[in-house]
Amino acid sequence: MKRRTLLQAAPALIYAPGLALAQTAFPNKPIRYIVPVAAGGGSDLVGRTVTERWGKILNQSFVVDNQGGGGGVIACQTTARSAPDGYTLMQGYVATHGTSPATRKLPYDPIKDFTPIGMIGATPNVLVVNSAVPAKTVKEFIDYLKKNPGRVSYGSAGPGSLTHLTAELFKQATDTFMVHIPYRGIAPAINDLIGGQTQAMFPGLAAALPHLKGDRMRALAVTGRKRHPLLKDVPTMEEAGFKGFDAIQWYGVVGPAKMPPAVVKTLSDSLTQVLAQPDMKTKLSSEAIELVQMSPEFFGSFMQIDIARWTKLAKERNIQLES
């Protein structure tokens, strides 16, 4: 199955929100929830919002453990080496189980070393340009690139990041060229776009939204499979004529490999109940996240497909980074 098909099929493949938890002694002590970034960012917000409600459903507390560094490598190694008893979980996301495995040699296997629990949600990237760029549509931007070869640069949050690979996917799909300017994080990249040092980029929607509302940059298209409710007037890349063009910042939950099926079911069923709560969408609106519920099996397939597609692009664009 294709990655897009999995996302579209996900709502029909979840467990019913009211499904009773498996009759088991699990959990009978606090659960460690590793977030592979420093405290205070968007990923941290997602983790704390989810676990606060998850703990109430399981009648057990979650202890959020922020382990930043190494692009998620430290957190992944800690999780993979933990006992597979359900008491250590990690918030995997597109970097740890998508783009990094595609562009680097890692000390962990993103599939074999983990047990998928379920998806949390996703947000699209958005093609934005500096306000001085005359293009108002994707077609006009492509024409602008072809009329100005080598004069347009795009920023990214760093080599191998989703913002980098999405721009390379765009260059490949449109047969155009832009100079890549990598930054150490999304904030300085956005600052230089606004200042005119770069002309385009593909930031996540949450990072771009305040600047779009302030008219400091212009959105041309979103990369998700459908228009985002926060940018209803902005078309998708597919609507702009590029079928299958998709890139999303996703978040999910994984544990160490070889977790007992009954424990996985308990965690997956209860996570589904968390995501079904009426206030969850509002709580995560600051990160522009749309909730996507998946069974463990489909989430595992989704990760494999995501890694495969970015690996293919990295090979075709000759993107191979040091660990």
Q: What whole-number distance in Å separates Cα of residue 47 and Cα of residue 59?
A: 17
Amino acid at 290: E
pTM here is 0.90
- Tens digit of each residue's pLDDT (9 = 90 or more) over 61-81: 999 999 998 889 999 999 999
Provide the token pair at 234. Answer: 């902005």
* Direct distance between the N- and C-terminal alpha carbons of the chain, in angstroms, rounded to an integer: 30
Say what the pLDDT of residue 3 is: 60
* Per-residue pLDDT at 20: 42
CATH number of the domain at 3-122+249-316, out of 3.30.980.10, 3.40.190.150, 1.10.3210.10, 3.40.1190.20? 3.40.190.150
**Separation between Cα atoms, residue 109 and residue 249, nearest integer Å:** 20
pLDDT of residue 16: 42
CA–CA separation, 127 vs 247, rounded Å?
11
What's the pLDDT score for residue 12?
45
Q: Which long-range contacts (CB under 8 A, 24 or more apart) does 274-277 make?
A: 274/50, 274/53, 274/54, 274/57, 275/120, 275/121, 276/17, 277/53
| 128 vs 219: CA distance, rounded Å | 4
Asked, colleague to colleague, whether 3-122+249-316 and 126-231 share their fold, the answer is: yes
Where along the chain do its domains lie?
Answer: 3-122+249-316, 126-231
Which residue, among 107, 118, 136, 92, has the nearest Cα to 249 in the 3D structure?
A: 92
Residue 249 β-bridge partners: 123
Q: Residue 291 forms beta bridges with which residues?
A: 121
Cα–Cα distance measured from residue 119 to residue 52, given in angstroms and rounded to the nearest whole number: 17
Nearest to 79 by CA among 47, 113, 105, 54: 113
Q: Which residues of the chain are under the pLDDT cut of 50?
A: 12-23
Q: What residue type is 222 in one-letter code?
A: V
Select from 3.40.50.720, 3.40.50.1110, 3.40.190.10, 3.30.420.40 the CATH code of 126-231: 3.40.190.10
